[in-house]
Amino acid sequence: MPGVHVLRSAADAAGLRASCGAGTRLVVIGGGFIGAEVAWAALQLGAQVTIVETLPALMMRGLGPDVGAVFTGMHRRAGIDVRLGVGVAGLEGVDKVETVRLTDGTGIDADLVVLGLGTVPETGWLTSSGLDLLDGVVCDERLAAVGADNVYAVGDLARWRHPRYDNDVRVEHWTNAVDTAAVVAANLTGTWTAHDALPYVWSDQLGARLQVFGRIRPQDEVRYVHGDSTTQRFVAVSGGKGRLQAVLEFGAVKQLLPYRKLLLARRSSSSRTAPTGSSCQTTRCSWTRCTTLSGSTSTRPRQQSSTASTKRARSRPWPGPSRRSR
């Protein structure tokens, strides 16, 4: 339908930019990283922006419920209309899109619609290969594909057993494509190498850069170690059961560095000393000692919404052949 856009390439971005201007009524369907970035960029162009997201908070899969709620509030205060816990029933219009009909029966007037519904790995061509396919190609920690000899997978097609988390993960960020290629090259040339890189993603929105190192799990506690949830610049850590699981920052790169070093130190022995300025003396210290700094605050861990388990990957602007939009 004319007026409906996806964001997979530079050409898609240019076309969307040309169509969006002052007074444009833009509806972004999907509140992941891409949806939030598009909404913020369009707002800077003078558009009237609405985000529709089925989950209880924006970017909840990447940030968890607590930090996701913080960014939801910031987007709303910036002037973006955020509709949560509701889906899209259909798009209506005669010659072009005119209305986005929601599952609660309400309609949103729209001149443009951006679909940020997510991606799924393109594995259809491998159906009869004998490989283990489950939201990607299932691999061991060396990225060797399960079900065949001398077959490896890289990029966002690979789902591998991550040594750090001891479970299977699939990462869509482009830095993972670079990291996995290096791991496979090492294994192919005779050097046994596990892919244990720290998951990482960044997002430019709300006038600053958000960076996340590690994985923020819904059940983990979140503590602010620089700034807090009411400020526009902060560093937060998440974890539980004596382990630091993730570090994130928004507009506070310098303050992030000691905690990122502490998170990276988990690869080595428990006797490794913590970065200067941290009250933690080893990488396996208690969660309380790891995050006890002057002025730090915490949030209680929340139960993950039942809708959060619904399978839907984030939209990414990576046009590579290993994925297809849905």
Instruction: Determine the structural domain holding residue 146 and report its residue range.
Output: 120-197
Q: Is 286 part of any domain?
A: yes
In a domain, 312, yes or no: no
Q: Which two tokens stand for residue 47?
A: 């558009």
Q: What is the pLDDT of residues 173-206, one digit of tens each?
A: 888 999 999 999 999 999 999 998 888 889 999 9
- Is residue 13 included in any domain, yes or no? yes
Q: Is 307 a residue whose pLDDT tops 70?
A: no
Q: How long a stretch of residues is the chain?
A: 326
79 and 181 part of one domain: no
pLDDT tens sequence across 262-300: 888 865 433 233 344 433 333 344 345 454 543 455 554
Residues 223 and 250 in one domain: yes
Between residues 132 and 219, the one the model is more confident about: 132
Q: Are residues 162 and 74 in the same domain?
A: no
Among residues 82, 117, 152, which one ends one of the domains?
117
Q: Are strands 81-84 and 48-53 parallel, antiparallel or unpaired?
A: parallel
318 in a structural domain: no
For residues 125 and 110, membership in a common domain is answered with no
Return the amino acid letter for 235: V
Q: Is residue 326 part of a domain?
A: no
Same domain, 106 and 193: no
Say how many CA atoms lie within 13 Å of 165 toward its Cβ: 19
Mean pLDDT of the chain, nearest integer: 82
| Domain identity same for 87 and 13 | yes
Q: Do 23 and 99 belong together in one domain?
A: yes
Contact 282, 272 (CB under 8 A): yes
Average of per-residue pLDDT across 128-155: 93
Longest C-alpha distance within the chain, in Å?
A: 67
- Same domain? For 185 and 239 the reply is no
Tell me the CATH number at 180: 3.50.50.60
Q: How far apart are CA 73 and CA 253, in angstroms?
A: 22
Same domain, 188 and 227: no
Residue where a domain stops, chosen among 87, 117, 147: 117
Number of domains in the chain: 3
Q: Which of 117, 133, 165 is the last residue of a domain?
A: 117
Q: Is the residue at 19 inside a domain?
A: yes
Please check whether residues 284 and 263 belong to one and the same domain. Answer: yes
Task: Determine, yes or no, domain membership for 244.
Answer: yes
> Is 310 among the domain residues?
no
Q: Closest by alpha carbon to 225, among 242, 201, 244?
A: 244
Check residues 289 and 26 and name the one with the higher pLDDT.
26
Q: What's the pTM value of the predicted model, to 2 decimals? A: 0.78
pLDDT at 71: 96
Shared domain check, 146 and 111 = no
* Residue 320, CA distances (Å) to 173, 174, 323, 325 in order: 12, 10, 6, 11
Same domain? For 14 and 72 the reply is: yes
